[in-house]
Amino acid sequence: MSNQPPLPYGRHAIEQDDCDAVLEVLRGDWLTTGPIVGEFERALAKRCGAADAVSCINGTAALHLACLALGLDSDATAIVPAVTFLATANAPRMTGAEVVFADVDPESGLMEARHLEDAIARMLAAGRRPSVVLPVHLGGQCADLAAIAAVARRSGLAVIEDACHALGTVYRTSGGAPTAIGSCTHSDLTVFSFHPVKTITTGEGGAVTAREAALAQRLRQQRGHGMVRDGGAFEDHEAAFEGDLANPWYYEMPEIGFNYRISDINCALGLSQLRKLDRFAALRRALVERYDRRLAALAPLVRPVKRNADAIPVWHLYSVLIDFAAIGKTRGEVMRCLQDHRIGSQVHYIPVHRQPYYRRRYGALSLPGAEAYYARTLSLPLYIGMTAADVDRVVDRLADCIARPSAAGKAGRSLVTGAAG
Ligand SMILES: *Cc1c(COP(=O)(O)O)cnc(C)c1O
């Protein structure tokens, strides 16, 4: 057992000014939605280059609001990459829409345009039309978004980016200008999460950035019970409500909505954290570069995920692909060995179509890219507060774990020296 400090696979970084910002709200007049929510939304929209941003209680609620704002219902079908967190598929399901899982690149875990085309073809063959696609920026990098948007446009699909991993990431179209993820240059809406394990945190929180102000209006309405308070700005109100418009207590519910509000407490933390995004991005990048350099010694048995040359990622995860068959160990054995050295690791993700709920609903699917990615992926520690020495410790212990004879009694190999283990 190691007596070195534990290295989790991810964690938040809270500094004194973050604490001060939250305390100031606690001492003020607003605890729930007050002026800081709007301030956070404006800062986020500005940072992403979006027309508007709407914040809410978590990233899952943000995905749900995005689906609602685009009018998804039980007649709709959403295309979702199989390698993602549950919420990307669950959010459209929460509107009643059906989900079709798309395959992903086995080396990057990203859904590319060809996978989207394949999913659309499968649907058309079954006599169904897709309504929306939700590309996921796995680990912080994105696929070729311009190509995905072109396929979506041709097939009449809306695009919601699940950018819960990718705040700060920049996408550069070949020949085009670089655009920030969240600007919605190649989508209708983009969703972020501020869960503590993500790049910046609000405690719990999420947001949707929008290209069009009208969509942001729908998001806000659905966030707050479906309620409208500003009757003057609301053109479709019922005749029965005409008389109430001028009253100070006026509120009207043209459609049912949710209570997905976030608080000023959360947004004060978010506003403070957002100011650190560039510093956090640089720190993550430096850690990733060191991992890449140090892990080269373990290639080809351990390799970083394939990089997309069009993406300038702010890395959320450091995921590697491990050839477990070649090293003669299971992923469970490697994870437990790392844990014995107090090093956390995680698997992102069990393909969603394998989950019992989706298997019951849609049957067993064959998505070979997703299966091949899942079979080899492991995420190593990456967070603010990690040092270069910590990266070295992870890589050295990973090399030991791979080389150590497995529980099955099979002799491992020493990967660093190349000698028999
Ligand atoms: C974290 C995450 C979500 C959900 O965000 P919460 O804030 O935890 O609800 C959705 N999609 C992806 C890809 C995520 O990583």
pLDDT of 31: 87
Torsion of CA 325, 331, 336, 341, to 10 degrees: 80
Atom number in ligand 1 closest to CA 87: 10
Q: How far is the CA of 67 from the centre of ligand 1 (A)?
A: 15
Confirm or reject: Cβ of 12 under 6 Å from ligand 1: no
> Strand 318-322 vs strand 377-380: parallel, antiparallel, or unpaired?
antiparallel
For residue 257, which of 220, 204, 206, 216 has the smallest C-alpha distance?
220
Confirm or reject: Cβ of 206 under 6 Å from ligand 1: yes
Q: How far is the CA of 85 from the centre of ligand 1 (A)?
A: 6
Low-confidence ranges of the chain (pLDDT < 70): 1-2, 174, 231-240, 242-243, 405-421
pLDDT of 356: 98
Atom number in ligand 1 closest to CA 60: 9
Q: What is the pLDDT of residues 358-405, one digit of tens each?
A: 999 999 999 999 999 999 999 999 999 999 999 999 999 999 999 976
pLDDT of 349: 97
Q: Kindly list the distances between the CA atom of residue 411 and the CA atoms of 35, 301, 395, 403, in Å, as whole numbers in the listed order.
A: 62, 16, 20, 8
Query: What secondary structure letter does DSSP report for 32?
Result: S
Q: What CA–CA distance (Å, rounded) separates 387 from 394?
A: 11
Amino acid in the structure at residue 74: S
* CATH fold for the domain made of 16-274: Aspartate Aminotransferase; domain 2 (3.40.640)
Q: In the chain, count H helices and then E strands.
A: 14, 13
> Where do the domains of the chain lie?
16-274, 277-417
Can you read off the two tokens belonging to residue 297?
Answer: 């010694």
Q: Kindly list the distances between the CA atom of residue 221 and the CA atoms of 44, 70, 189, 204, 234, in Å, as whole numbers in the listed order.
A: 19, 13, 16, 20, 11
Confirm or reject: Cβ of 90 under 6 Å from ligand 1: no
* CATH fold for the domain made of 277-417: Aspartate Aminotransferase, domain 1 (3.90.1150)
* 329 catalytic residue (yes or no): no
pTM of the model: 0.94
* Ligand 1, atom 7: closest residue by C-alpha: 59
For residue 26, which of 320, 278, 264, 281 has the smallest C-alpha distance?
264
Atom number in ligand 1 closest to CA 136: 13
Q: What CA–CA distance (Å, rounded) separates 25 from 269?
A: 10
Confirm or reject: Cβ of 60 under 6 Å from ligand 1: yes
Confirm or reject: Cβ of 272 under 6 Å from ligand 1: no
Q: How far is the CA of 400 from the centre of ligand 1 (A)?
A: 33
| H or E element that contains 122 | helix 113-125
Task: Collapse the DSSP code of 318 into the 3-class scheme (helix H, G, I; strand E, B; otherwise coil) and give the result.
Answer: strand
pLDDT of 418: 36
